[in-house]
A and B are shown apart, each in its own frame.
Chain A
Amino acid sequence: MSELTALTLTAAREALRRREISARELTEAHLRAMEAARDLNAYITETPERALAMADAADARLARGESGLLEGLPLAIKDLFCTEGILTTAGSHILEGFVPPYESTVTRRLWEAGAVCLGKANLDEFAMGSANVTSYYGPVRNPWTRPGEEVPLVPGGSSGGSAAAVAARLCLGATGTDTGGSIRQPASFCGVVGMKPTYGRCSRFGIVAFASSLDQAGPLTRTVADCALLLQAMAGYDPQDSTSAAREVPDWSGGLSGEVRGLRIGVPAEYRVEGMPEEIERLWRQGAEWLRAAGAEIREISLPHTRYALPAYYIIAPAEASSNLARYDGMRFGLRVEGADLTETYMKTRGRGFGAEVKRRVLIGTYALSAGYYDAYYLKAQKVRRRIAEDFTAAFREVDAILTPTAPSAAFRLGEKSDDPVAMYLNDVFTVPASLAGLPGISVPAGLSAEGLPLGLQVIGRAWDEATVLRVGRALEEAAAFTALPYGLAEVAG
């Protein structure tokens, strides 16, 4: 790990503005780190030439005294964002060779702010997974291992490549997307900060769609201040996404503090799930204690329908996916496997092009939407979804933010839970409820498990109140003082 790759996004930004470092040397340091860490499989596509050209352009602007919000800062982009002229795979065989002729709104904003594209980060196929093991391009390794062990661990998912790249210092920050926990859970597993903003904060235009009523883009970074900065550049109204909100993007990074005095923080009784390790329960209590010590008031709250969030999600998300993924038919882009006629061509293309988890979800979704089952499954799930959203509305009459664990475990072994879909789904038990309600949530690294692996705490806020979420996140970050590094990096750093 070089000094340059160890910088935070915020510190690198200052150093670039003061011209103490150049965007080119910062980018080169990251390209070298990426090359040295290819065994993690964090990137599907590296874009060194484009990165250096973008860095040189940033240096030229900096020399003229111009600088965008992210001028010269090297980032990884989850390979679910369409990037003009750069292979975009969504981690799927069915998008083989797909080079978008257009740019997603979120990435366009980043490049307009001066950011440098290092490459496209690995992910679960179509963002469907919680361990980054469903990617056609192979699993991502978590840079963390249990001390003294070589056994590969998963980075979480679906933004596993993004989280691993941030943790391993292979970028200063990364974009992710979160449908049911896909930013927050890998952030927790990799010891980094990850935030899903309010549904509608970031444009979904040009992001390969999984479940359109749930998908949101968000940042993965090493600090809460970096998270505020990156989100600020990503967010904003876009006429090309009718569900994006025409709201001002606040100056989250400028006004950021960890001041929580007088804030009421809710601790939901229903998040004490069966089988949750005692150390996670303890860390959660510790988090509440930190906030109390900083002047917040802690209140027990109830979110009664919590346990129904996951099953409702596993109807709604697959139903939307079955509809969104209908576009992959082998006719206009991507893989085509020829059959005897049109129907057979469709069936062979989709049969070979989709992996096992994607097929399971498309089939569940097709079933839930099919004649005779629509009311029993899809409509029922949408009614339960409203119940869950109402639970939050009621809770936010009494509290300003909610504190929970991010995930029910630390990172697990590669291969574990892979043969049991439901066991894999349970990873998202704490992140899915806020997703269904469209609320903002952040995961902040708060401590290490007994095995020496990072554990995150989640803060959930009111709709459009990312500011409070970031503030509480910052307070947790200050109190936790999480400085542990993945073991490979700790050795190099000496």
Chain B
Amino acid sequence: MALDKTTVARIAHLARIEIPESELDALTGELAKILEWIDQLGEVDTERVEPMRKVMDIPAHWRPDEVTDGGRREDILANAPETHDGYFVVPKVVE
């Protein structure tokens, strides 16, 4: 599955990472090389193999449905780039 510049630009947009046009060619080359190396996975017979979704067979833990945290507005806002009146300030989303 060859990777082209248009696809890389599309993924970069999906990942919300700005890639300057001048870096797109080099990046496409790097990613294509990595994916080409990854393509050897195709050699492995995985017919009737269940994907491994869980690493260790640990049973789910049960606990009482109780509030264990909260009421920490100041802590939560302490690292924000911009706050106002106890809220995060973000760029305008709706017109």
Contact = CB atoms under 8 A, between A and B. Distances in A.
Interface of A: 97-99, 101-102, 198-200, 213-214, 239, 242-243, 245-246, 305, 307-308, 311-312, 314-315, 322, 329-336, 338-339, 341-348, 350-352, 354, 359-360, 362-364, 366-367, 370, 373, 376-377, 379-387, 389, 421-422, 438, 463
Given A342-B92, A364-B35, A421-B34, A351 B19 contact: yes
Contacts of B14: 366, 370
Contacts of A347: 13, 16-18
B7 to A, nearest CB: 8
B91 A213 contact: no
Given A352-B18, A359-B17, A386-B51, 12 more contacts: A97-B79, A101-B76, A102-B75, A243-B56, A245-B56, A246-B61, A311-B39, A331-B80, A333-B81, A334-B79, A367-B31, A383-B51
Given A101-B76, A382-B53, A311 B81 contact: no
A315 B34 CA distance: 10
B84 interface: no
Interface residues of B, number: 53
B15 A322 contact: yes
Contact of A386 (B33, B40, B50, B63): B50
Nearest to A200: B56
Contact of B49 (A97, A387, A438, A463): A387
Nearest to A422: B37
A370 B11 CA distance: 8
Contacts of B31: 360, 363-364, 367
Nearest to A99: B79
A376 B55 CA distance: 21
A385 B55 CA distance: 10
A343 B11 CA distance: 14
B66 to A, nearest CB: 11
B46 A342 contact: no
A305 B49 CA distance: 14
Contacts of B55: 199-200, 213-214, 243, 438
Contacts of B8: 363
A387 B58 contact: no
Nearest to A242: B61
Contacts of A382: 51-53
Contact of A376 (B1, B12, B50): B1
Interface string B1-32: 10100011001111111111000000100110
Given A308-B40, A370-B11, A350 B56 contact: no
A421 B33 contact: yes
B12 A363 contact: yes
11 contacts: A102-B75, A311-B41, A314-B34, A333-B79, A350-B15, A352-B18, A363-B17, A381-B41, A384-B46, A386-B50, A389-B52
Interface in B55-75: 55-56, 58, 60-61, 63, 72, 75
Interface centre among A336, A345, A383 (most CB of B within 10 A): A383
Contacts of A98: 79
B17 A341 contact: no
Contacts of A102: 75
Contacts of B82: 336
B44 A384 contact: yes
A362 B15 contact: yes
A348 B15 CA distance: 12
Given A315-B38, A342-B90, A421-B30, A383 B46 contact: yes
A387 B81 CA distance: 46
Nearest to A305: B44
Contacts of A312: 41
Contact of B15 (A97, A242, A341, A366): A366
B80 A379 contact: no
Nearest to B33: A422
A373 B18 contact: no
Contacts of A350: 15-18
